[in-house]
Amino acid sequence: MNYFKTAILLAGMTALFMGVGYMIGGQGGMLIALVVAAGMNVFAYWNSDKMVLSMHGAQEVDERTAPELYQMVRELSQNAGLPMPRVYLMDNPQPNAFATGRNPENSAVAATTGLLQNLTHEEIAGVMAHELAHIKNRDTLIMTVTATLAGAISMLAQFGMFFGGNRNNNGLGIIGTLAMVILAPLAAMLVQMAISRSREYAADRMGGEIVGRPRYLASALGKLGQLAQRIPNQAAEANPATAHLFIVNPLSGERMDNLFSTHPAMENRIAALEELEREMGGGRSDSFAPASGRGPWG
């Protein structure tokens, strides 16, 4: 089913590319956009994860450079029945995280330094379990490809504005160009929003099951929702098309890009996790609680 959704997404994004190409250069522009879109679809399938990680300055870590985080992800991956993903750190004060990769065998999880500094051991485990749930549900391909192509559509629309649109469309060049600049990125944003909101609830639930205590993730979300609004994420502000990848919205809300949030309401997510905690009868044992009761990163 996820492969079918991915195909529908790529087809929709390709249609957007062709529409923008037509507004820029008529039928010739549309054909060029079709070729470019086909090439980008192939490129995005194989390389979109690397592009997103690079956009956010993520650096891969291992047992030597980040032993606590790496061991935590390993244990959670075993709980989830997943192969060990690559683990990345982003030097960013905003506490946040995301997962990427075209399949569980080629996946990665990325956390910010702000996440490790502001959350407890248990809460970080809840966040990492949420990201592993995205991998297990095979959300990462469709969400990462969406981020790559949405950004490209926005850039192509701006390119059309710069060149003034198609000048041979019976006097509708200015109107068509303005509509393209506004509607093309908006359409891409709506696709992101629809995909992300439905997948976040599913990843929250599965993440709570993977970590064994849904309240760990609920507690983390409560903190992340407040801190993400106060601490800016400059990399995300520069690349708003990737916002839906993160566990909480990384954008400040000062931009037009944040008019429609790609994430569900935080109180609804927390309430669903609290209900899951009750359903699980308090969850499993505290396998991720350190003996001291404090997080290993201070």
Q: Which of the residues are catalytic?
A: 131
Spatial CA neighbour of 215 closest among 295, 130, 290, 277: 277
**Residue 112 DSSP one-character state:** E
Whether the CB-CB separation of 241 and 150 falls below 8 Å is answered with yes
**In the numeric block, which tokens belong to residue 56?**
């956010």
Spatial CA neighbour of 125 closest among 71, 84, 82: 71
Whether the CB-CB separation of 236 and 250 falls below 8 Å is answered with yes
- Whose tokens are 């400040």? That residue is 252
Whether the CB-CB separation of 108 and 128 falls below 8 Å is answered with no
**228-to-28, 96, 128, 133, 243 alpha-carbon distances in Å:** 44, 8, 17, 22, 12
CA distance 24 to 18: 10
C-alpha Rg value of the chain to the nearest Å: 20
Spatial CA neighbour of 185 closest among 212, 152, 207, 210: 152
The bridge status of strand 97-103 relative to strand 106-112 is antiparallel
Q: Which amino acid is at 217?
A: L
Burial class (CB in 10 A: 0-12, 13-18, 19+), 179: middle
- Whose tokens are 């064994």? That residue is 212
